[in-house]
Amino acid sequence: MPRAAAALSITALIALCGCGYAMDDDEVLVVYSAGPRGLAEAVCEAFSKETGVRIELFSATSGQIMAKLEAEKYNPRADVVVLASQFGAEWLKRENRLLAHVPAAIETTTQDWHDPDGFYHATSAAAVGIAVHADFHHDSLEWTDFFTGRFPGRAIMPAPSRSGSSADFVLTYLLAHADQGWADFSAARSQGLEIAGANSQAITNLLIGSHNAVFGAVDYLIFREIARGEPIVMHFPDSGAALVRRPIAILSTTRVPELAKSFVDFYFDESAQTEIATRHLLPARTDIAVSDVRAGTPLSRELIADMDEAMAHQRTILRRFQYEIERAVIPPRPDPARTPTRETLP
């Protein structure tokens, strides 16, 4: 078995066993969920404890979940999906692969986070900005600092092909800035911006000091590290940042539609929304307080993408980004300390 496939199988098995679920009953609810895995496991465990329903949980990135759904299109297994990408949920809706359902407590939530037709609803949201080591932070830090070389340190970005939040950020930014946006990302790569792995890999590089900033960092993971005492700052440029909704949806092929609806309802229950807030995400419910560390860093301005335009160009933009930006071979930025001068040349 390929290493990646084996890892995903192990992840699914760990999540399944960790929640104490089995798969030998017709009344099993199959849930595919993007991270944080701990949140998905906690909500599944609480739902199972309250209802007695057995859950099979597959936890992976949004990209991996979308790929799995596509691979299983003609032999579907999932009943419910939780994604870290509103655009992913909208694509499933337009492919007629979702079942409409309005959760019981939806009136307590931020209304414009949800599909107006009721096919998916955001359980939470996260903003995408710049995570920076405290020594490199200043209040006026902007995206353009990474395009022009004004940022003095090394920066890394999560790969949109590995991170749903990063993909939504790239799509939103490029739709907002058109041709200039492509020039911006090319310039950032020329200035030394590295693109590698998922969110966790980029953040690890920041924490160990090999990079000084994460460009396009999803905020709840940074707030978690700040709460642990790491000397880093979550920064939202005044020019705007992307707010990534995290929708839940029922697949139209579900074999247990009533169980699936109950699970979706549970995600908007006070207990589940409180659990979401403890993970430093923005809960959908407006009556649930955000974590203290999040409360101290409000989003300045949201970059908004037109949904129809996003759906029309999503695949083209992300594929072009992968080949022209993410995989581009960029010459390393010269190190001024090692660049020969007239005095140092033999």
pLDDT digits 0-9 by tens, 64-73: 999 999 999 9
pLDDT digits (tens, 9 = 90+) for 113-154: 999 999 999 999 999 999 999 999 999 999 999 999 999 999
Q: Between 83 and 17, whose confidence is greater? A: 83
Which residue reads 């978690």 in tokens? 224
What is residue 330's predicted lDDT score, i.e. its pLDDT? 62
What is residue 21's predicted lDDT score, i.e. its pLDDT? 38
| Residue 52 confidence (pLDDT) above 80 | yes
Q: How far apart are CA 18 and CA 34, in angstroms?
A: 17
Instruction: Tell me how many helices (H) and strands (E) the chain has.
Output: 12, 12
What is residue 3's predicted lDDT score, i.e. its pLDDT? 39
What is residue 53's predicted lDDT score, i.e. its pLDDT? 95
Mean pLDDT of 155-173: 92
Q: Which two tokens stand for residue 166?
A: 């990063």
Kindly list the distances between the CA atom of residue 302 and the CA atoms of 77, 88, 140, 185, 295, in Å, as whole numbers in the listed order.
36, 19, 17, 19, 16
pLDDT band for position 171 (50/70/90)? very high
What is residue 299's predicted lDDT score, i.e. its pLDDT? 84
| Residue 246 confidence (pLDDT) above 80 | yes
Q: Which two tokens stand for residue 78?
A: 């999932």
pLDDT digits (tens, 9 = 90+) for 185-199: 999 999 999 998 889
First-to-last alpha carbon distance for the chain, in angstroms, is 56
What is residue 26's predicted lDDT score, i.e. its pLDDT? 61
| Residue 343 confidence (pLDDT) above 60 | no
What is residue 340's predicted lDDT score, i.e. its pLDDT? 40
Strands (E) located in 35-136: 54-59, 80-82, 98-99, 120-133
Domain 3-125+243-292 in CATH 3.40.430.10: no
Mean of the per-residue pLDDT values for the chain?
Answer: 88
Residue intervals in the chain for CATH 3.40.190.10? 3-125+243-292, 127-242+298-326
pLDDT band for position 337 (50/70/90)? very low
Neighbours of 30 (CB within 10 A): 22
Amino acid, res. 50: E
On the question of a cis peptide bond just before residue 36, with omega within 30 degrees of 0, the verdict is yes
DSSP letter for each residue of 160-198: TTT-HHHHHHHHHHHHHHHHHHHHHHHHHHHTT-EE-SS
Neighbours of 162 (CB within 10 A): 21
Q: Which two tokens stand for residue 95?
A: 């492919």
Fold of 127-242+298-326: D-Maltodextrin-Binding Protein; domain 2 (3.40.190)
Mean pLDDT of 296-322: 91
Bridge partners of 235? Answer: 130
User: What b-and-e string marks burial along 71-108, b requiring 16 or more CB atoms within 10 Å of the CB?
Assistant: eeeeeeebbbbbbbbbbbbbbbbeeebbbebebebbeb
- Could you tell me how far CA 157 lies from the centroid of its own chain? 13
| Residue 336 confidence (pLDDT) above 90 | no
